Structure 1
Amino acid sequence: MLLNDFMNDNFPNLELRPALFYSWSIGIRFELGVDYDRDNDYENSPYIQEVYKRAITLFKSLHAHNDDMYIVVDVNDHADGYKHKSKTYPRYIKEKSVLYGLNQKTIPYIFPDDDDGEGTYKTHRFTLKCKTSDFKYIPMLKAICNNDMGIKPSIFNRVYFININRKTIFHVYDDRGCDLLATTPETIRGVYDKYNDWILDYDRNEIDEIFK
Protein backbone atom coordinates (compact mmCIF):
# COMPACT_ATOMS: atom_id res chain seq x y z
CA MET A 1 0.00 0.00 0.00
CA LEU A 2 1.25 3.47 -0.88
CA LEU A 3 1.33 6.26 1.67
CA ASN A 4 -1.39 8.26 -0.12
CA ASP A 5 -3.72 5.27 -0.15
CA PHE A 6 -3.08 4.60 3.54
CA MET A 7 -3.75 8.22 4.45
CA ASN A 8 -6.91 8.43 2.34
CA ASP A 9 -8.27 5.24 3.92
CA ASN A 10 -7.41 6.05 7.53
CA PHE A 11 -6.82 9.80 7.87
CA PRO A 12 -8.91 11.31 5.09
CA ASN A 13 -8.33 15.01 4.41
CA LEU A 14 -5.52 15.20 6.95
CA GLU A 15 -2.50 17.13 5.74
CA LEU A 16 0.84 16.02 7.13
CA ARG A 17 1.94 19.36 8.52
CA PRO A 18 2.20 20.94 11.97
CA ALA A 19 0.32 21.22 14.15
CA LEU A 20 -1.15 17.78 13.62
CA PHE A 21 -3.04 17.67 16.91
CA TYR A 22 -5.29 20.55 15.86
CA SER A 23 -6.04 19.00 12.46
CA TRP A 24 -7.52 15.66 13.59
CA SER A 25 -10.26 14.73 16.03
CA ILE A 26 -8.49 11.88 17.85
CA GLY A 27 -5.11 12.63 19.33
CA ILE A 28 -2.89 13.52 22.26
CA ARG A 29 -0.37 16.32 22.61
CA PHE A 30 2.42 15.40 25.02
CA GLU A 31 4.87 17.75 26.69
CA LEU A 32 8.47 16.59 26.33
CA GLY A 33 10.49 19.54 27.63
CA VAL A 34 9.67 20.81 31.10
CA ASP A 35 10.96 24.01 32.77
CA TYR A 36 13.25 25.07 29.95
CA ASP A 37 15.69 27.91 30.36
CA ARG A 38 18.74 28.95 28.36
CA ASP A 39 21.11 27.29 30.78
CA ASN A 40 19.78 23.93 29.51
CA ASP A 41 21.29 24.31 26.03
CA TYR A 42 24.11 21.84 26.40
CA GLU A 43 24.64 18.18 25.67
CA ASN A 44 23.25 15.78 28.27
CA SER A 45 21.70 18.52 30.41
CA PRO A 46 18.99 17.25 32.80
CA TYR A 47 16.42 19.06 30.64
CA ILE A 48 17.38 17.33 27.38
CA GLN A 49 17.77 13.96 29.11
CA GLU A 50 14.14 14.20 30.24
CA VAL A 51 13.10 15.19 26.70
CA TYR A 52 14.87 12.10 25.31
CA LYS A 53 13.34 9.84 27.93
CA ARG A 54 9.79 10.92 27.18
CA ALA A 55 10.15 10.81 23.39
CA ILE A 56 11.76 7.36 23.42
CA THR A 57 9.34 5.95 26.01
CA LEU A 58 6.32 7.11 24.02
CA PHE A 59 7.75 5.77 20.78
CA LYS A 60 8.43 2.35 22.32
CA SER A 61 4.92 2.18 23.75
CA LEU A 62 3.44 2.80 20.28
CA HIS A 63 5.65 0.74 17.97
CA ALA A 64 6.30 -2.97 18.33
CA HIS A 65 9.54 -4.46 16.97
CA ASN A 66 7.94 -5.89 13.83
CA ASP A 67 5.34 -3.21 13.11
CA ASP A 68 5.19 -1.98 9.53
CA MET A 69 5.55 1.73 9.20
CA TYR A 70 6.24 4.70 7.00
CA ILE A 71 8.97 7.14 7.95
CA VAL A 72 8.10 10.40 6.20
CA VAL A 73 10.65 13.22 5.98
CA ASP A 74 9.69 16.63 4.59
CA VAL A 75 12.51 18.73 3.16
CA ASN A 76 11.49 22.30 2.41
CA ASP A 77 13.00 23.86 -0.71
CA HIS A 78 13.15 27.64 -0.76
CA ALA A 79 14.42 27.71 -4.36
CA ASP A 80 17.98 28.25 -3.18
CA GLY A 81 19.71 25.50 -5.10
CA TYR A 82 18.48 22.57 -3.03
CA LYS A 83 19.50 19.18 -4.40
CA HIS A 84 16.88 16.46 -4.29
CA LYS A 85 18.40 14.20 -1.69
CA SER A 86 17.70 13.45 1.93
CA LYS A 87 20.63 12.66 4.20
CA THR A 88 18.32 11.78 7.06
CA TYR A 89 17.72 8.12 6.23
CA PRO A 90 21.20 6.64 5.64
CA ARG A 91 22.41 7.58 9.12
CA TYR A 92 19.59 5.75 10.87
CA ILE A 93 18.71 2.75 8.68
CA LYS A 94 20.49 -0.42 9.79
CA GLU A 95 20.59 -2.23 6.44
CA LYS A 96 21.30 -0.12 3.38
CA SER A 97 19.23 -2.47 1.21
CA VAL A 98 16.10 -1.10 2.94
CA LEU A 99 16.83 2.26 1.30
CA TYR A 100 16.00 0.81 -2.14
CA GLY A 101 12.37 1.36 -1.19
CA LEU A 102 12.82 5.10 -0.59
CA ASN A 103 10.36 7.23 -2.55
CA GLN A 104 10.47 10.96 -3.18
CA LYS A 105 7.95 13.35 -4.61
CA THR A 106 7.62 17.11 -4.78
CA ILE A 107 4.45 18.60 -3.33
CA PRO A 108 3.20 22.17 -2.82
CA TYR A 109 4.99 23.95 0.01
CA ILE A 110 3.44 22.76 3.28
CA PHE A 111 3.52 26.27 4.78
CA PRO A 112 1.89 28.24 1.95
CA ASP A 113 1.37 31.31 4.13
CA ASP A 114 5.16 31.58 4.49
CA ASP A 115 5.86 31.41 0.76
CA ASP A 116 7.40 34.34 -1.05
CA GLY A 117 4.13 35.00 -2.86
CA GLU A 118 5.31 33.61 -6.17
CA GLY A 119 4.79 29.94 -5.39
CA THR A 120 8.46 29.12 -5.85
CA TYR A 121 8.82 27.26 -2.55
CA LYS A 122 8.33 23.49 -2.64
CA THR A 123 8.39 20.58 -0.21
CA HIS A 124 10.20 17.37 -1.13
CA ARG A 125 8.52 14.50 0.66
CA PHE A 126 10.57 11.36 1.21
CA THR A 127 8.77 8.17 2.25
CA LEU A 128 10.34 4.91 3.37
CA LYS A 129 8.27 1.86 4.18
CA CYS A 130 10.03 -0.38 6.67
CA LYS A 131 9.70 -2.10 10.04
CA THR A 132 10.44 -0.56 13.43
CA SER A 133 13.40 -2.93 13.71
CA ASP A 134 14.94 -1.58 10.47
CA PHE A 135 16.07 1.74 11.88
CA LYS A 136 17.87 3.22 14.86
CA TYR A 137 14.96 5.12 16.32
CA ILE A 138 16.67 6.15 19.57
CA PRO A 139 19.45 8.25 18.00
CA MET A 140 16.96 9.49 15.39
CA LEU A 141 14.53 10.76 18.03
CA LYS A 142 17.39 12.38 19.94
CA ALA A 143 18.55 14.18 16.79
CA ILE A 144 15.01 15.50 16.20
CA CYS A 145 14.84 16.78 19.79
CA ASN A 146 18.29 18.36 19.48
CA ASN A 147 17.48 20.63 16.57
CA ASP A 148 16.19 23.75 18.33
CA MET A 149 18.70 23.26 21.13
CA GLY A 150 21.71 23.71 18.88
CA ILE A 151 23.02 20.30 19.95
CA LYS A 152 24.60 17.92 17.43
CA PRO A 153 23.70 15.66 15.78
CA SER A 154 20.37 17.19 14.83
CA ILE A 155 17.62 16.68 12.26
CA PHE A 156 16.20 19.92 10.92
CA ASN A 157 13.56 18.37 8.64
CA ARG A 158 10.13 17.32 9.87
CA VAL A 159 9.78 13.58 10.50
CA TYR A 160 6.53 11.63 10.83
CA PHE A 161 6.34 8.03 12.05
CA ILE A 162 3.22 6.39 10.64
CA ASN A 163 2.38 2.96 12.06
CA ILE A 164 0.57 0.93 9.41
CA ASN A 165 -0.57 -1.85 11.77
CA ARG A 166 -1.89 0.35 14.56
CA LYS A 167 -2.95 3.24 12.32
CA THR A 168 -1.21 5.93 14.33
CA ILE A 169 0.91 8.96 13.49
CA PHE A 170 3.66 10.09 15.86
CA HIS A 171 5.38 13.44 15.34
CA VAL A 172 7.99 14.99 17.62
CA TYR A 173 7.84 18.64 16.56
CA ASP A 174 10.82 19.70 18.71
CA ASP A 175 12.12 19.41 22.26
CA ARG A 176 8.91 20.97 23.60
CA GLY A 177 6.50 18.22 22.63
CA CYS A 178 4.97 15.68 20.28
CA ASP A 179 1.64 14.82 18.70
CA LEU A 180 0.03 11.39 18.55
CA LEU A 181 -2.92 10.75 16.23
CA ALA A 182 -5.07 7.64 15.86
CA THR A 183 -8.16 6.42 14.04
CA THR A 184 -9.94 5.41 17.27
CA PRO A 185 -9.50 6.45 20.93
CA GLU A 186 -9.15 2.81 21.98
CA THR A 187 -5.97 2.42 19.95
CA ILE A 188 -4.13 4.92 22.15
CA ARG A 189 -6.11 4.71 25.39
CA GLY A 190 -3.32 2.74 27.07
CA VAL A 191 -0.82 5.50 26.30
CA TYR A 192 -3.31 8.13 27.46
CA ASP A 193 -3.75 6.32 30.78
CA LYS A 194 -0.11 5.41 31.43
CA TYR A 195 1.48 8.74 30.49
CA ASN A 196 -1.34 11.03 31.53
CA ASP A 197 1.04 13.19 33.57
CA TRP A 198 2.93 14.07 30.38
CA ILE A 199 -0.10 15.48 28.55
CA LEU A 200 0.26 19.16 27.73
CA ASP A 201 -1.96 20.97 30.23
CA TYR A 202 -2.93 23.63 27.68
CA ASP A 203 -4.85 21.01 25.67
CA ARG A 204 -5.76 18.64 28.51
CA ASN A 205 -9.49 19.39 28.64
CA GLU A 206 -9.90 18.77 24.93
CA ILE A 207 -7.88 15.54 25.15
CA ASP A 208 -9.83 14.26 28.17
CA GLU A 209 -13.07 14.72 26.20
CA ILE A 210 -11.80 12.31 23.54
CA PHE A 211 -11.33 9.50 26.06
CA LYS A 212 -14.47 9.95 28.17
Structure 2
Amino acid sequence: MKIKEYMDERFPSLELIPSIYNQWGLGIHFCLGENIYQLKENEELNLKRFRIVYDQISTIFNELFEHNDDILLVTNMYKHKTKCVRKLKVYQPYLKCKNDLKRIHVKTYPYPFEIDKAEEYEMQQFSLLCKPRDLRVTELLKAASNEDFPLQPRFGGYSIDYPDVFFVNITKDIIFFIYDDRGCEVIALDFERIRPLYEKHHDWVEEYKYIYQEGQN
Protein backbone atom coordinates (compact mmCIF):
# COMPACT_ATOMS: atom_id res chain seq x y z
CA MET A 1 0.00 0.00 0.00
CA LYS A 2 1.21 3.51 -0.86
CA ILE A 3 0.95 6.38 1.59
CA LYS A 4 -1.44 8.48 -0.51
CA GLU A 5 -3.86 5.58 -0.92
CA TYR A 6 -3.82 4.90 2.79
CA MET A 7 -4.24 8.55 3.83
CA ASP A 8 -7.06 9.14 1.35
CA GLU A 9 -8.92 6.15 2.76
CA ARG A 10 -8.27 6.42 6.51
CA PHE A 11 -7.24 10.04 7.22
CA PRO A 12 -8.72 11.88 4.22
CA SER A 13 -8.62 15.40 5.68
CA LEU A 14 -5.11 15.14 7.10
CA GLU A 15 -1.99 16.64 5.53
CA LEU A 16 1.05 14.65 6.62
CA ILE A 17 3.15 17.59 7.80
CA PRO A 18 3.99 18.83 11.34
CA SER A 19 1.11 19.58 13.71
CA ILE A 20 -0.94 16.52 12.85
CA TYR A 21 -2.47 16.86 16.34
CA ASN A 22 -3.99 20.22 15.42
CA GLN A 23 -5.50 18.77 12.24
CA TRP A 24 -7.27 15.78 13.77
CA GLY A 25 -10.04 15.31 16.32
CA LEU A 26 -8.58 12.34 18.18
CA GLY A 27 -5.07 12.56 19.53
CA ILE A 28 -2.52 13.21 22.25
CA HIS A 29 0.19 15.86 22.38
CA PHE A 30 3.03 14.83 24.69
CA CYS A 31 5.52 17.19 26.33
CA LEU A 32 8.96 15.59 26.66
CA GLY A 33 11.97 16.13 28.89
CA GLU A 34 10.22 16.71 32.24
CA ASN A 35 10.74 20.49 32.03
CA ILE A 36 14.52 20.08 32.25
CA TYR A 37 16.25 22.73 30.16
CA GLN A 38 18.39 21.57 27.23
CA LEU A 39 21.47 23.49 28.42
CA LYS A 40 23.26 23.67 31.75
CA GLU A 41 24.32 26.98 33.28
CA ASN A 42 27.72 26.66 31.59
CA GLU A 43 25.92 26.29 28.20
CA GLU A 44 26.85 22.61 27.87
CA LEU A 45 24.15 20.23 26.71
CA ASN A 46 22.18 18.73 29.55
CA LEU A 47 22.45 15.09 28.57
CA LYS A 48 20.19 14.04 31.43
CA ARG A 49 17.28 15.71 29.64
CA PHE A 50 18.02 13.92 26.39
CA ARG A 51 18.26 10.54 28.12
CA ILE A 52 14.80 11.18 29.56
CA VAL A 53 13.47 12.18 26.12
CA TYR A 54 14.92 9.05 24.51
CA ASP A 55 13.33 6.88 27.19
CA GLN A 56 9.95 8.58 26.81
CA ILE A 57 9.75 8.30 23.02
CA SER A 58 10.89 4.67 23.12
CA THR A 59 8.21 3.91 25.70
CA ILE A 60 5.51 5.59 23.59
CA PHE A 61 6.63 3.83 20.42
CA ASN A 62 6.75 0.40 22.05
CA GLU A 63 3.23 0.82 23.41
CA LEU A 64 1.86 1.88 20.02
CA PHE A 65 3.72 -0.49 17.70
CA GLU A 66 4.23 -4.24 17.78
CA HIS A 67 7.01 -6.01 15.91
CA ASN A 68 4.68 -7.45 13.27
CA ASP A 69 2.54 -4.37 12.66
CA ASP A 70 2.53 -3.08 9.10
CA ILE A 71 3.80 0.48 9.08
CA LEU A 72 4.65 3.18 6.58
CA LEU A 73 7.84 5.02 7.46
CA VAL A 74 7.29 8.42 5.87
CA THR A 75 9.88 11.18 5.51
CA ASN A 76 9.31 14.73 4.29
CA MET A 77 12.43 16.37 2.89
CA TYR A 78 12.25 20.10 2.15
CA LYS A 79 14.52 21.39 -0.58
CA HIS A 80 15.22 24.11 -3.11
CA LYS A 81 13.78 23.18 -6.50
CA THR A 82 16.95 23.81 -8.49
CA LYS A 83 19.84 23.18 -6.13
CA CYS A 84 21.34 19.71 -5.88
CA VAL A 85 21.19 18.03 -2.49
CA ARG A 86 23.00 15.10 -1.01
CA LYS A 87 21.34 11.73 -0.74
CA LEU A 88 18.78 11.66 2.05
CA LYS A 89 20.20 9.72 5.01
CA VAL A 90 17.08 8.68 6.83
CA TYR A 91 16.52 5.17 5.52
CA GLN A 92 19.94 3.74 4.77
CA PRO A 93 21.40 4.00 8.31
CA TYR A 94 18.28 2.67 10.02
CA LEU A 95 17.13 -0.20 7.81
CA LYS A 96 18.41 -3.63 8.82
CA CYS A 97 18.15 -4.94 5.27
CA LYS A 98 19.63 -2.64 2.63
CA ASN A 99 17.57 -4.32 -0.10
CA ASP A 100 14.54 -2.55 1.37
CA LEU A 101 15.94 0.69 -0.05
CA LYS A 102 14.73 -0.46 -3.47
CA ARG A 103 11.13 -0.39 -2.25
CA ILE A 104 11.06 3.25 -1.19
CA HIS A 105 8.50 5.41 -2.98
CA VAL A 106 8.98 9.13 -3.52
CA LYS A 107 6.58 11.85 -4.61
CA THR A 108 7.15 15.59 -4.96
CA TYR A 109 4.70 18.18 -3.58
CA PRO A 110 4.60 21.98 -3.33
CA TYR A 111 6.38 23.44 -0.32
CA PRO A 112 3.72 23.24 2.45
CA PHE A 113 4.67 26.20 4.65
CA GLU A 114 4.06 29.92 4.28
CA ILE A 115 7.42 31.63 3.78
CA ASP A 116 8.82 34.25 1.42
CA LYS A 117 9.52 32.79 -2.02
CA ALA A 118 7.88 29.50 -1.10
CA GLU A 119 7.49 28.80 -4.81
CA GLU A 120 11.25 28.26 -5.02
CA TYR A 121 11.04 25.23 -2.72
CA GLU A 122 9.37 21.84 -2.74
CA MET A 123 8.73 18.87 -0.51
CA GLN A 124 9.80 15.37 -1.46
CA GLN A 125 7.92 12.71 0.46
CA PHE A 126 9.56 9.30 0.83
CA SER A 127 7.69 6.28 2.14
CA LEU A 128 8.47 2.65 2.85
CA LEU A 129 6.07 -0.14 3.79
CA CYS A 130 7.80 -2.25 6.44
CA LYS A 131 7.50 -3.56 9.98
CA PRO A 132 9.10 -2.20 13.17
CA ARG A 133 11.29 -5.29 13.33
CA ASP A 134 12.87 -4.17 10.01
CA LEU A 135 14.15 -0.93 11.57
CA ARG A 136 16.81 0.14 14.02
CA VAL A 137 14.04 1.80 15.97
CA THR A 138 16.00 3.11 18.96
CA GLU A 139 18.49 5.00 16.81
CA LEU A 140 15.79 6.22 14.46
CA LEU A 141 13.78 7.69 17.34
CA LYS A 142 16.85 9.40 18.75
CA ALA A 143 17.70 10.95 15.39
CA ALA A 144 14.16 12.29 15.08
CA SER A 145 14.47 14.05 18.44
CA ASN A 146 18.00 15.44 17.92
CA GLU A 147 16.87 18.04 15.38
CA ASP A 148 18.14 21.20 17.08
CA PHE A 149 21.30 19.94 18.76
CA PRO A 150 24.69 18.51 17.71
CA LEU A 151 23.96 15.03 19.00
CA GLN A 152 24.30 11.67 17.31
CA PRO A 153 22.57 9.98 15.65
CA ARG A 154 21.25 12.60 13.24
CA PHE A 155 19.51 12.54 9.90
CA GLY A 156 21.66 13.68 6.99
CA GLY A 157 21.37 14.78 3.39
CA TYR A 158 18.78 17.51 3.85
CA SER A 159 19.20 21.00 2.40
CA ILE A 160 17.02 23.60 4.13
CA ASP A 161 15.05 22.02 6.97
CA TYR A 162 15.56 18.93 9.11
CA PRO A 163 13.49 16.04 7.70
CA ASP A 164 10.15 15.24 9.33
CA VAL A 165 9.60 11.54 9.95
CA PHE A 166 6.18 9.99 10.58
CA PHE A 167 5.47 6.47 11.79
CA VAL A 168 2.16 5.42 10.27
CA ASN A 169 0.76 2.23 11.76
CA ILE A 170 -1.62 0.92 9.10
CA THR A 171 -2.47 -2.14 11.20
CA LYS A 172 -3.89 0.00 14.03
CA ASP A 173 -4.60 3.29 12.21
CA ILE A 174 -2.27 5.33 14.41
CA ILE A 175 0.22 8.02 13.39
CA PHE A 176 3.19 8.96 15.59
CA PHE A 177 5.30 12.07 14.97
CA ILE A 178 8.28 13.38 17.00
CA TYR A 179 8.75 17.03 16.08
CA ASP A 180 11.91 17.49 18.18
CA ASP A 181 13.14 16.98 21.75
CA ARG A 182 10.28 19.10 23.11
CA GLY A 183 7.40 16.86 22.19
CA CYS A 184 5.56 14.38 20.01
CA GLU A 185 2.07 13.81 18.67
CA VAL A 186 -0.09 10.71 18.38
CA ILE A 187 -3.38 10.60 16.46
CA ALA A 188 -5.73 7.71 15.79
CA LEU A 189 -8.96 6.80 14.05
CA ASP A 190 -10.22 5.25 17.30
CA PHE A 191 -9.26 6.82 20.62
CA GLU A 192 -9.61 3.45 22.32
CA ARG A 193 -6.41 2.47 20.51
CA ILE A 194 -4.48 5.15 22.35
CA ARG A 195 -6.49 5.49 25.57
CA PRO A 196 -4.15 3.14 27.54
CA LEU A 197 -1.22 5.34 26.52
CA TYR A 198 -3.07 8.43 27.72
CA GLU A 199 -4.04 6.85 31.03
CA LYS A 200 -0.62 5.34 31.73
CA HIS A 201 1.44 8.43 30.88
CA HIS A 202 -0.97 11.20 31.77
CA ASP A 203 1.84 13.19 33.41
CA TRP A 204 3.51 13.61 30.02
CA VAL A 205 0.35 14.83 28.27
CA GLU A 206 0.35 18.46 27.15
CA GLU A 207 -3.11 18.25 25.55
CA TYR A 208 -5.49 15.61 24.32
CA LYS A 209 -8.54 15.59 22.08
CA TYR A 210 -11.30 13.06 22.26
CA ILE A 211 -14.25 14.65 20.51
CA TYR A 212 -16.74 11.93 21.36
CA GLN A 213 -15.95 12.03 25.05
CA GLU A 214 -16.21 15.80 25.12
CA GLY A 215 -19.60 15.63 23.44
CA GLN A 216 -20.90 13.29 26.16
CA ASN A 217 -19.78 15.40 29.12
Does the 8 Å CA contact 1:161/1:170 hold for their aligned counterparts? Answer: yes
Q: Distance in 1 between matches of 2:133 and 2:38?
A: 35
Where do residues 49-68 of structure 1 align in structure 2 (5 Å cutoff)? 49-68=51-70
- Three-state SS of the structure 1 residue aligned to 2:108 is strand
- Three-state SS of the structure 1 residue aligned to 2:30 is strand
Distance 1:129 1:178, change over 3 A: same
Does the 8 Å CA contact 1:41/1:151 hold for their aligned counterparts? Answer: no
Shift of 1:37: 4.2
Unaligned runs of 5+ in 2: 156-161
Unaligned runs of 5+ in 1: none
Q: Distance in 2 between matches of 1:82 and 1:170?
A: 30
In structure 2, what residue type is equivalent to 1:148? Answer: D
Where do residues 1-212 of structure 1 align in structure 2 (5 Å cutoff)? 1-33=1-33, 34-39=35-40, 42=45, 45-79=47-81, 81-83=83-85, 85-111=87-113, 113-117=114-118, 119-155=119-155, 156-200=162-206, 203=207, 206-207=208-209, 211=213
Does the 8 Å CA contact 2:167/2:175 hold for their aligned counterparts? Answer: yes
For the aligned residues, what is the CA RMSD?
1.9
Does the 8 Å CA contact 1:84/1:124 hold for their aligned counterparts? Answer: no
| Count of aligned residue pairs for this structure pair | 205
Cα offsets for 1:132-183 (capped at 9, x unmatched) = 1000010111111112122122233100000010000000000000000100
- Three-state SS of the structure 2 residue aligned to 1:114 is coil
| TM-score w.r.t. length of structure 2 | 0.88
Shift of 1:87: 1.6
Q: Distance in 1 between matches of 2:112 and 2:84?
A: 16
Q: Distance in 2 between matches of 1:81 and 1:41?
A: 35
Shift of 1:207: 3.3
| TM-score w.r.t. length of structure 1 | 0.90
Give the fraction of aligned pairs with identical amino acids, expressed as a percent: 35
In structure 2, what residue type is equivalent to 1:42? Answer: L
Q: Distance in 1 between matches of 2:203 and 2:213?
A: 15
- Three-state SS of the structure 2 residue aligned to 1:83 is coil
Distance 1:148 1:158, change over 3 A: same
Bigger proportion of residues as helix: 1
